[in-house]
Structure 1
């Protein structure tokens, strides 16, 4: 099945997390509309870190019911945050090829986007079965589907009650530096 992946990041203490919300093409338009419907007047995006706890709970309650799963990748930042990100991104790219993904959208980090493009390109060269996976960076205000990854990665990183509440939204969790 062809899928699209929407990716965002979070850092908690010395751990870097990357989340990829995996979405079927037939669900793209409906989910975008539902997410936009959660915005307050004048609000341009849902960014979980900036929301108040009561609003976070309300948003999470709705998003957890979407039937979307976000894959989470984690790595230690002891060798540097950017190294951790690129390790997570390399693994994610391979997993997306295995899933038959068609499109990968990453939340833009402006000047650092080129590092991601290089990493993805190197990972795809090693996978001739990539099926033409296309990838791009977008600002989180441009595509609401990036907000799902933001919510999933924030909750997973926060742990405790937030992770429990987000459990329906969290798919496989891969920690790259575990023994």
Structure 2
């Protein structure tokens, strides 16, 4: 069974967070997309947690914690630049996805900056890229509802306190790239 990973980012002060909903089995994709689409308000194109009211956040989280989704978080320091921090996280994520046997990696598009991710992924895969079977792409956040999951969990992790507590069932591994 090939896992799918959906990735978004967040930043809190000097900490860069890359969140990857990395434990999404193919049999769950359609059901999760329907659930997320059903949580949108009328005329809302996507769920973006930062823009939701606290009551809506609680409603959305309550629905998500009943799913089999696990989100791994990758942390990096932004003091030497946000892009550098992101690429440290993307490199570590790529290696971990290969270890899991993931088949697809979807990153929330940052438009012109997507090239940085592609270079990091290609470098991480090395000369055996085709043999890994990992397919990767960037999509706008409204392009796949599953990109909303890492947005939600990253926001909650960064907010801490009660939001982190509510999101805890969704959090898998926390990988701190600041530590050797």
Name the TM tier (shorter chain): over 0.9
Give the secondary structure class of the aligned counterpart of 2:178. coil
Distance 2:165 2:27 in 1: 28
User: What 5-or-longer segments of structure 1 have no aligned partner?
Assistant: none
1:20-55 CA distance string (max 9 Å, x none): 002101110111011000111100000000001111
Change (3 A) 1:94 1:36: same
Aligned twin of 1:16: 16
Give the secondary structure class of the aligned counterpart of 1:161. helix
Q: Note the aligned Cα RMSD (angstroms).
A: 1.3
Question: Which protein is richer in helix relative to its size?
Answer: 2
Aligned twin of 2:171: 170
TM-score of the aligned structures, taking structure 2 as reference length: 0.96
Q: Is the 8 A contact 1:76 1:84 kept in 2?
A: yes
Change (3 A) 1:61 1:37: same
Distance 2:83 2:176 in 1: 16
Per the TM alignment, residue 64 of structure 1 is displaced from its structure 2 partner at its CA by 1.4
Q: Is the 8 A contact 2:122 2:129 kept in 1?
A: no
Give the secondary structure class of the aligned counterpart of 1:44. coil
Give the secondary structure class of the aligned counterpart of 1:72. strand
